[in-house]
Chains A and B, each alone.
Chain A
Amino acid sequence: MKVSLYLREGEGAFLVVGNLRAEVTECTVAVDMAQMGLGEDVRAWNALSERDLPLQDDRITVRLRPNSFVLARLERR
């Protein structure tokens, strides 16, 4: 798995979660929203499919196909 994060502090962030494995993998990414200035009310969604991503306790869990990725957008509501 590979995760990179791009932050516009106080506004939003962008996460790339890549599955470099050969099998479907579930990955939980813990993000410190407060440290990034996003506060507690944050929405997370898949930037390509625009599908909401489950965000609980500052954690996003995604299930990924082999050699696939999700482009996750985080934005304070």
Chain B
Amino acid sequence: MRMRTDALLSVALLVATLIPVTAQPTTPPPADARTLLLDRFDEDFVPDGQRMTSPTVIVPAGEHTGGRLVTGGETPIEQSGEFIEGRFGQAFQFHGMTAMYYPVPGNIDVTAGAVEMWLRMGYEPVHPSQVESRYRNQLFLNIDPPGPARFIVYSTLVQFCVGVWDQQRQLVAYVGAPMPWHEGEWHHVEVRWGRRLELWLDGELRGSEDWAGLFGPMSVDLKQTQMFLGSRIHDSDIEAEFAVDELRILGPGGEQVPPYPLVTCPRIVTPPTLDGVLGDGEWDGAGEATGFVGLNDNRPVVDQTNVFVAHDERNLYVAFECTDPENRPLEGTFTDRDSAVYQEDAVDIFLQPGPDVYPYYQLVANCIGTRFDARAIEQNGRRAFDIEFDPEWTVATSRGEGRWVMETAIPWAELEGRSAPQPGERWRVNFCRDADAASRLSSWSWIAGNFHRPSNFGEMVFRGDDRAMRLSKLTGLRDGRPHARLDLTGLAFDPPVTVTATLVDAGAATVAEAHKDLIDAKSFTFEPPPITSGDYVLTLTAATAEETLSYQRLPFSVDKPFDIAVAGYPYEGRLWVTASIGGMPDLPEGSMVRARLVAGEREAGACEITQFDRGSGQGAIDITQVEPGQYEVQASVVGPDGEVLAQAAAGWEQFDRPVFWMSDAGMERTVPTPWTPVEAAADAIRVWGREYRGDGRIMPGQIVNQGQDLLAGPIELTATVGGAAIDLSALPAAIVEAADDRAVQEAALDGPVPMTLRATTEYDGMQRYDLTISPAGEATVDALALAIPVRREVARFILPSSGRFSKPVEVGDESWRSAFMPQVWLGNDDLGLAWFAESDRYWKPVDDDAMLEVVPEGDVVTLRANIIREPRTITEPITITFGLIATPVKQVPTGDPWYFRFGAVNNAYQLYDPQASAIYHTERLEYPAAGNIDPAQGTLEFWLSAGGMGGGGPRPIAGIYGDGGSMVLNWDLSQDRLWLTVPGPEGELQIGATDAGVPMEGYVHVAATWGERIALYCNGRLLDSADGPLPAAEQMAASPEKLRLVLGSAHGWRGWTWFDVDEVRVSGTVRYAGDGLAVPTEPFAPDEATLLLDHLDDRFRPDGEDAETRPEVMAAPGDHLGGLPSIGCEFVDGVFGSGLQVGVVGARPCREMLQEWGVDAYNLWSWLPKPQWDEVGWPLPLFTEPEGVDLPRMNAAFDEAGVRTSTYMGYMGIGAPTRWSRQFGYEWRREPVSSQPSEPPPGHSYLDCCGNARGYADYLAEGTRWLLEEQGFDGCYTDGNAHVYPCRNTHHGCGYYDDDGTLRPTYPVFGTREYLERMYRIIHEHGPDGFLVNHVSYNIFIPTMSFTDVYYTGEHEHYEDLLKCRVRWQGTQWGIWPILLGADSHTYEAMYYTYRHAAQDREPVAGLRRLRLPRGAVDPLLPRRGVGHRARGR
């Protein structure tokens, strides 16, 4: 393979862009196989109420053969419209109260499909308020099932919309986008449905939403459904004034697929053992699916089935685990191939490899392993079965208590000579379960009638790697307590997989949802609150940005009339009771739910719930004065006459107030190091390294950063009111507060719409702007926009952040546009400027990609936040908040690889004990053995020397180790004894002699042979022998992967292994048979019997990991290039050329080594010892006292060694169940809920929390103080806590309701920032060595990361993206010192360090040496730097 570096270097210059490509179609749509309806409107006629259009493709309904015009109101039919020149050929122009109806059955598929058409407005859509009301909306396509439900494609003149209304006429799905269209322009519109609802305008995706089919969970009878273009004659006065051309409706296909399930089939290396038993770990790497539904009844069955799928080059592997909670006797009697096994307890595999339905294969096995197989083919236009199709597929089954198992391997070649599928190949498949009663038949993908319905098969996607999802648990659906678990298989985390669970009711209202980015962990659980009677749909999706790995949509029913859920919010002081009465639809008016909080006979509080929305209502009980203890909430549904109609109860515990309750830890108004106090002057606000220069303006006219001007012109914040534009940024500023930690300026605008702009600048350079608009009565703001012009040489890169992910983009000539994101940074390799905001509250419109823009023009790159683009009417004061922060935020030597020199430490808990914490190394030269040695017979020989090293006891020199046996050559210098030890059934054989003749100086030839006898020779003389083969030779040969060939100590450190070795040779034959041999006089030469020959003549520096010898012969190299010498070995003069001294690095106290190498920082991953950690679960609950370890003493020992310590103290969540989760879980958690299993202890999981929850902030701040003051640490390590996750938990201040009443997320920038600042302040004011490590992979979010001394990053990320290295991993632009954690491969880490440090203007190799340090233990090859670390002191 050849590569030219100049080509490779150009990779770094690749420009990424997020700008969507506009691709308006240029040809009329074809009538292809997916087309259900195509009306080109090319055959014209005069509307008369009788004649219809002549669609190219349509399924007529009787005499209804095309588009039929109907008018209403005052519109006569002859004025309903006319045919005009269209986009292609002719089009139809609508006028007045007119609609064009099409037949529905066969012409649209509500499960998946698309509709596209060309539209032209019949008038200039000027300001909506100036358009006649009859034109104010335009209704393009209407699909009306019976009842109030609707699907409408329409326009509000400024916005193009797609809406779905449910049977209560509630809007349940919506996508929309601005449509700046003008009269006479043709525009292409396409709406797609399937697993999502998507709106495409002019070839560009403009909006999408999770939604199933056209109508979601609603049942639609197409025979009773109407579909029409134009006016809703009977329930609206909107007149149609538009033209339509080329109307086409597509059925399922492409990305528009019905919501059938999807499973990923990974490629595996080790095939499962086909014995009918799901062995431990055997199927762990497989894709897994469950959630079988009944034949004809699309609901989960009781007898659930789990299916496992995997493949390799030869086979498809499938396993079924068929549960039967009733433990019925299994029916399995047929034993003949192709007998009717499907009438018994059996499982079916349906495989449809191609895009065409035929052929597909049906493979059935009953519970005793009898096979039935058939090939379905098309014959004379009908399906036929080829029963002669008898592939050789292997089946094994087993029965157990309440379950039976089938395992199979299906060779690809047996499926009509196929090869293994290519990565990305998709097959339609289904997995079904037979039984002796039709009522017990079930399948993975729902099917009605019989299993032979390929259109209803699910889908299996093949991968070329080990990545798949496992839906392993799906329980509690019928009981109204759903519980689902998904796990990601494989090594990689990147690209990140997001798992989403959505539970909706029959009215399409979302009952619960959760999502999780699988970044650090690979499991996800979904456990919503209890639900009551009704129909529901649970959708589980696991997908990356590019592809879906798992999808399951499961309708189910719950029969439980009334239930309650209780949730305590201690800081809020309320216990919220959610009552579900959805299962009692006929409750008399005036009914309510009464809830009482009781402890025994004592009532501690009560509430009444009288308002219900879709069967659910909430009430709150004041718990601020409730004494700690166990309580029960007893709830009753009470009719208007006082009759109790139903009852339910739930337990709750009031806990003591914890030590961190309402803590003010870290909230002092001080300026922590290394920042300096804020300097507020009339002309500028100055902080470390930066100057926000306003010269009297409220917003900067210039930002001077590290002496450089950032801006190309003044920042402008422009509001347009009543047609007048006002530059708010230029309002005169008054300093209203000037303190060390912040300066506050204010500016005011009087007039009909008074506004104030308040600017708060904090010592780290963060500027917060609060714009408050306070209308007197009602006012309209027509526009509000922020423009930040940045100098081109500064704005080389854009780093937008979703709060959790940020992908850098290089600024080119094109504009970058985006929907709302909480951060957009513009900068270069050295500095930059970030804009940020917590939410798009009050922005209008939202969700399109014109909210944020970066526009390059000449020497200026302008960042625009287009806050209000459509007039917003304001009736009460509103505050719009955003912020700026110029970076770097502080001074750190980001180019210094030794600024923080973390080291791994052996037995850190006992660092103070030199013995307990001593560091040891292995002492060996090890070769790959499988294929390089034959346990049945052979010869191992080499030249041996004591190398002048005496002392020590007996030591192993060489050994062959395998499953059940070994042969080890030992040497005792004091007795000059050489002997072989061979364990056997009657004890250990010892074959050898004293006075072997090994000199202290010089080499002797040593050989061991095995075959019919075992013999040992030294210097040509037979020392000893024993008849018989190696006792365990057969067993050793049967497991070649367990064979080892080691020169030196096979079992770790001994402390005195010293010898020199040369010319190592392993042969597959017994070379020496007599009482002696002729001592070789020259290097060995390869021959046919040689399996391994290593002259050891290639000198290098062993590093214990990557540096291997280069044998002349190595019969089976496997993944290796040669033998691997451990650290401590070195090349010496040999008998011929070089030899290798197998040596040892002496055990040394860890503390001494830390000092020697200049390690000056250490992070303790668990401040609780392992047994205790397992008991409490991860992340460790703060304030749990460690048992059996003395952390203050440990930390003092580190202190003496000059090493600063931190500990892993914060994950962006808490363990559950724990004391803290039970008390604060609801109040702290992020919503949608995000949790993942994390055992031990059994049942333990993470519960992700939100930085805006004040109690959680207090917990972390006070916990920081506890770790420092009580346990002696210098600092803390947090894991993901500087990310800003979207959250909708209103109980702690997140989320907001938009104009439509929809709860939308906010990004808790300021809450997260505040608690990190508190931690930082506590740490830095505790002592001069304090440091806060924030682990932030996949992201840089600078307003929160500002309070970070060291950021760990890059974990699980792909490392090929040099732009990412440059923008996110250098640290220079951010003022924070980076450490790259390394991806899942050592290789990437090396790349990083070379990039990160070798690229600096310094000695490259010094940077490289860092490679070894974080990887554990110690490396004697590192430069002896002496105690070069910083002076410390407390």
Bound form: Cα–Cα A67–B758 in Å: 55
Among residues of B, the one whose C-beta sits closest to the C-beta of A26 is: B1
Q: Cβ of B3: which chain A residues have Cβ within 8 Å of it?
A: 1, 3, 27-30
Bound form: Cα–Cα A1–B4 in Å: 12
Are A28 and B1 neighbours in the complex by a CB distance under 8 Å?
yes
The B contact surface, by secondary structure, is: mixed
Interface residue B1103 (Cβ < 8 Å from any Cβ of A): yes
Given contacts A1-B1, A69-B1390, whether A32 and B6 have CB atoms under 8 Å apart is: yes
Are A16 and B1394 neighbours in the complex by a CB distance under 8 Å?
yes
Interface residue A55 (Cβ < 8 Å from any Cβ of B): no
| Interface bin, chain A | 35 or more
Are A30 and B1 neighbours in the complex by a CB distance under 8 Å?
no
Interface residue B1217 (Cβ < 8 Å from any Cβ of A): no
Bound form: Cα–Cα A30–B1388 in Å: 22
A contacts, CB < 8 Å to B:
1-6, 8, 14-16, 18-20, 23-32, 35, 46-51, 59, 63, 65-69, 71, 73
* Min CB gap A14→B, angstroms: 5
Q: Cβ of A1: which chain B residues have Cβ within 8 Å of it?
A: 1, 3
Are A71 and B1408 neighbours in the complex by a CB distance under 8 Å?
yes
Q: Cβ of A28: which chain B residues have Cβ within 8 Å of it?
A: 1-3
Interface residue B1119 (Cβ < 8 Å from any Cβ of A): yes
Q: Cβ of A71: which chain B residues have Cβ within 8 Å of it?
A: 1390, 1394, 1408
Are A48 and B1117 neighbours in the complex by a CB distance under 8 Å?
no
Interface residue B857 (Cβ < 8 Å from any Cβ of A): no
Are A48 and B1103 neighbours in the complex by a CB distance under 8 Å?
yes
Are B1119 and A66 neighbours in the complex by a CB distance under 8 Å?
yes
Are A3 and B1405 neighbours in the complex by a CB distance under 8 Å?
no
Given contacts A27-B3, A30-B4, A68-B1106, whether A48 and B1101 have CB atoms under 8 Å apart is: yes
Q: Cβ of A49: which chain B residues have Cβ within 8 Å of it?
A: 1100-1103, 1106-1107
Bound form: Cα–Cα A63–B1106 in Å: 12
Are A46 and B1390 neighbours in the complex by a CB distance under 8 Å?
no
Bound form: Cα–Cα A23–B976 in Å: 44
Are A67 and B1391 neighbours in the complex by a CB distance under 8 Å?
no
With A3-B3, A51-B1100, A51-B1101 already in contact, 19 other A-B pairs whose C-beta atoms are closer than 8 Å: A5-B8, A6-B1399, A8-B1404, A14-B1404, A18-B1387, A18-B1391, A20-B1387, A26-B1, A27-B1, A29-B5, A30-B2, A31-B5, A32-B4, A32-B5, A48-B1107, A51-B1107, A65-B1119, A69-B1387, A69-B1391
Interface residue B64 (Cβ < 8 Å from any Cβ of A): no
Are B1394 and A4 neighbours in the complex by a CB distance under 8 Å?
yes
Are A2 and B1391 neighbours in the complex by a CB distance under 8 Å?
yes
Q: List 25 A-B contacts (CB under 8 A).
A: A2-B1360, A4-B8, A5-B8, A6-B1404, A16-B1394, A20-B1387, A28-B1, A28-B3, A32-B4, A46-B1100, A47-B1405, A48-B1411, A49-B1101, A50-B1101, A51-B1099, A59-B2, A65-B1106, A65-B1119, A65-B1121, A66-B1119, A68-B1106, A68-B1386, A68-B1387, A69-B1391, A71-B1394
Interface centre among B1106, B1107, B1121, B1387 (most CB of A within 10 A): B1387
Q: Cβ of A6: which chain B residues have Cβ within 8 Å of it?
A: 1394-1395, 1398-1399, 1404
Q: Cβ of A50: which chain B residues have Cβ within 8 Å of it?
A: 1100-1101
Bound form: Cα–Cα A49–B1102 in Å: 6
Q: Cβ of A20: which chain B residues have Cβ within 8 Å of it?
A: 1385, 1387
Among residues of A, the one whose C-beta sits closest to the C-beta of B1400 is: A6
Bound form: Cα–Cα A30–B4 in Å: 5
How many residues of chain B get a CB closer than 8 Å to chain A's CBs? 37
Given contacts A14-B1404, A18-B1388, whether A25 and B1121 have CB atoms under 8 Å apart is: no
* Min CB gap A50→B, angstroms: 5
Are B1390 and A16 neighbours in the complex by a CB distance under 8 Å?
yes
Q: Cβ of A63: which chain B residues have Cβ within 8 Å of it?
A: 1121
Q: Cβ of B1: which chain A residues have Cβ within 8 Å of it?
A: 1, 25-28
Bound form: Cα–Cα A28–B4 in Å: 9
Bound form: Cα–Cα A6–B1119 in Å: 28
Interface residue B1098 (Cβ < 8 Å from any Cβ of A): yes
Bound form: Cα–Cα A18–B1106 in Å: 12
Among residues of A, the one whose C-beta sits closest to the C-beta of B1098 is: A51
Interface residue B9 (Cβ < 8 Å from any Cβ of A): yes
- In order of increasing CB-CB distance, the 9 nearest A-B pairs are A49-B1107, A51-B1100, A49-B1100, A18-B1387, A69-B1387, A5-B5, A50-B1101, A67-B1385, A16-B1394
Interface residue B1120 (Cβ < 8 Å from any Cβ of A): yes
Bound form: Cα–Cα A3–B6 in Å: 10
Q: Cβ of A26: which chain B residues have Cβ within 8 Å of it?
A: 1
Bound form: Cα–Cα A18–B1359 in Å: 11
CB-CB contacts below 8 Å: B1384-1434 with A: 1385-1388, 1390-1391, 1394-1395, 1398-1399, 1404-1405, 1408, 1411
* Min CB gap A65→B, angstroms: 6
Q: Cβ of B1119: which chain A residues have Cβ within 8 Å of it?
A: 23-24, 65-66
